[in-house]
Amino acid sequence: MADQGPNAEKTDDELAREARAGSRRSFEELARRYKRRLFVYLRPRVGSDEDAEDLVQETFLKLYRNIGSYDPEFRFSTWLYTSAGRLAIDAYRKGAASKDKLAGESAAELPDPAADRDRDPRLSGLWAAARGLGGDRFRVLWLRYGEDLTIDEIAAVLGRTKLAVRILLHRARTSLMSIAGPSPARTIAPAKAADARGARSG
Amino acid sequence: MRCFFARRAISRAEDRGTKLPQWVERHAGRCGSCGDYARFTASLKERLAGERPAVLDAVPEFPLNEAAWAAAGDRGAQERVPRRRFVLRPLPAAAGALVVLAAGLALLLVALREPAPSAQDRTAALAALKSFTAVPDRIPGVVTEAEFSLEKERRILEKELSSAVEYLQARLNIKIERREPRGKST
């Protein structure tokens, strides 16, 4: 679906405020923007694409019903991911996602990073490796680098302390480097590469 | 151990968006694995953000069930109507009216049971009123009584004092004269 209409240029928070005021079109635009992102976030928690799609649908339905309780002081994405996480836990408790399905979070069943590269040259397999780290570590990486949330916001989404989030991020980065290897020189920005060279010579 | 702390410091600087401490920079320059970690951490944001569009494009297309939102909206509207009429439900309204009626009747009965004051009660009430009004007539008597008591006390004290003076005169062989108060001397 391509970006169309006047809503396409609005920010998420503007759309969320309009949706709160009763605009269904604004909510549809928000859902359109976030459905894939939410799918990526939820997919490692369930066994199949279909289960992930169901959870995405359920999350938007819940959000639409409760849009009146959205507090515009907070980012829409924080509210969305918090609700999605709770629904995923509920689904697990209800047995919608069996233990066998949740085993899908293990690295063995996830796509090979090399296969990712074959599918799309833009991919180096880093996100595939991140998915292989398991639930919490992948989620924290996605929220930090995929959604650009702050440590405070991630703590609110995951229901953890800021310190716990920082530790989780540190462990996720360390594990990711051990799987994916140190960053290739070509991906480092010139300024950062110069910094790194400076650090080595110093 | 130094590597452990250096990597934690690298992560902390990345999370806070601050510069690396100098000792960490020096350590990362000397230690290959910590240098790798510093470069990896510094490049991670750019790399992951760069790959994000491709990751999202790889998600299979699926339609959103917007009909369910419409149904949820309608159901929500339907649910809200009875809530607004909750007060007008006949059973709770009738119960409330009955309670108010019963309370009113009870008050009325209590008020009716109180007997009207008789002629004797009126006389007693008037007598009580008179006793209140009679109090000022007794006040001069009370004052006189108090003055008498004070005067009696003064006389006793005067008598004891003159007796003490006589004793001192006899004992010390001196003469003590009584001086009248200044007001009285004139």
C-alpha count within 13 angstroms, C-beta hemisphere, residue B95: 6
Residues 25-54 of A with CB under 8 A from B: 27-28, 31-32, 35-37, 39-40, 49, 53
Task: Using alpha carbons only, give the angle A146, A152, A156 rounded to the nearest 5 degrees.
Answer: 85
Rounded mean pLDDT, A149-166? 92
Residue B83, in any domain of the structure: no
- Helix B32-57 / helix B2-16 crossing angle, nearest 10 deg: 40
Rounded to whole angstroms, how far apart are CA atoms A183 and A177?
Answer: 8
What's the pLDDT at A13? 87
What's the pLDDT at B134? 66
Residues A11 and A97 in one domain: yes
Q: Could you read off the pLDDT of B122-162 as tens digits, one per residue?
A: 888 888 887 766 666 667 777 788 888 889 999 999 999 98
Residues A27 and A74 in one domain: yes
Residues 141-180 of A with CB under 8 A from B: 141, 145-146, 148, 151, 166, 169-170, 173-174, 176-177
Tokens at A80, concatenated: 């969305």
On whether the CB atoms of residues A172 and A130 are closer than 8 A, the answer is yes
> How far does A146 lie from chain B, in Å, by closest CA?
6
**At A91, which CATH number?**
1.10.1740.10
Residue B92, in any domain of the structure: no
What's the pLDDT at B172? 86
Residues A158 and A94 in one domain: no
Residues A50 and A22 in one domain: yes
What's the pLDDT at A184? 56
B19: closest chain A residue by CA? A195
Rounded to whole angstroms, how far apart are CA atoms A43 and A56?
Answer: 10
What's the pLDDT at B9? 92
Q: How far is CA A33 from CA A2, A4, A7, A193, in A?
A: 10, 12, 11, 34
Query: CB atoms < 10 A from the CB of A194, how many?
Result: 11
Rounded to whole angstroms, how far apart are CA atoms A30 and A19?
Answer: 9
Q: If you write DSSP's letter for every residue of B65-88 in order, what string do you get?
A: -HHHHHHHHHHHHHHHHHHHTGGG
Residue B43, in any domain of the structure: yes
Find the Cα–Cα–Cα–Cα dihedral B33, B35, B38, B44, rounded to 10°.
Answer: -70
On whether the CB atoms of residues A172 and B13 are closer than 8 A, the answer is no
What's the pLDDT at A202? 34
Residue A25, in any domain of the structure: yes
Give A104's pLDDT tier (boundaries 50, 70, 90).
very low
Residues A101 and A12 in one domain: yes
Residues in B touching A176 (Cβ below 8 Å): 40, 44
Domain closes at, from B42, B57, B72: B57
Prediction pTM value: 0.60
- Minimum-distance CB partner of B64 among A57, A126, A145: A57
Residues 87-146 of A with CB under 8 A from B: 119-120, 122-124, 126-127, 130, 141, 145-146
Residues in B touching A37 (Cβ below 8 Å): 56
Chain-centroid distance, C-alpha A137: 11
Minimum mean pLDDT range among A99-103, B26-30, B51-55 = A99-103
Residues A98 and A148 in one domain: no
Minimum mean pLDDT range among A64-78, A85-99, A151-165 = A85-99
Residue B112, in any domain of the structure: no
pLDDT, averaged across chain B: 81
Q: What's the number of domains chain A is made of?
A: 2
Chain-centroid distance, C-alpha A118: 23
Residues A39 and A84 in one domain: yes
- Amino acid found at A15: L
Contact status of B50 with chain A (Cβ, < 8 Å): yes
Contact status of B37 with chain A (Cβ, < 8 Å): yes
Residues in A touching B64 (Cβ below 8 Å): 28, 31-32, 35, 56-57, 60
- Asked if A64 and B49 come within 8 Å (Cβ–Cβ), the reply is no
Query: CB atoms < 10 A from the CB of B37, how many?
Result: 22
- Asked if A24 and B73 come within 8 Å (Cβ–Cβ), the reply is yes
On whether the CB atoms of residues A144 and A169 are closer than 8 A, the answer is yes
Q: Is the pLDDT of residue B43 over 70?
A: yes
Give A74's pLDDT tier (boundaries 50, 70, 90).
confident
What's the DSSP call for residue A148?
-
Residues A78 and A120 in one domain: no
* Domain region containing A160: 108-180
Q: Could you read off the pLDDT of B74-131 as tens digits, one per residue?
A: 655 444 444 444 556 778 888 989 999 999 999 888 877 777 777 888 888 888 887 7
Tokens at B111, concatenated: 């008020």
* Domain region containing B46: 2-57
Rounded to whole angstroms, how far apart are CA atoms B108 and A65?
Answer: 52
Rounded mean pLDDT, A101-127? 54
Rounded to whole angstroms, how far apart are CA atoms B124 and B19?
Answer: 97
Chain-centroid distance, C-alpha A63: 17
On whether the CB atoms of residues A33 and A12 are closer than 8 A, the answer is yes
On whether the CB atoms of residues B29 and A173 are closer than 8 A, the answer is no
- Cα dihedral A58, A60, A66, A70 sign: positive
- Helix A76-94 / helix A24-42 crossing angle, nearest 10 deg: 60
> A5, A139, A120, A60: which is closest to B57 by C-alpha?
A120
What's the pLDDT at B76? 52
Rounded mean pLDDT, A95-115? 48
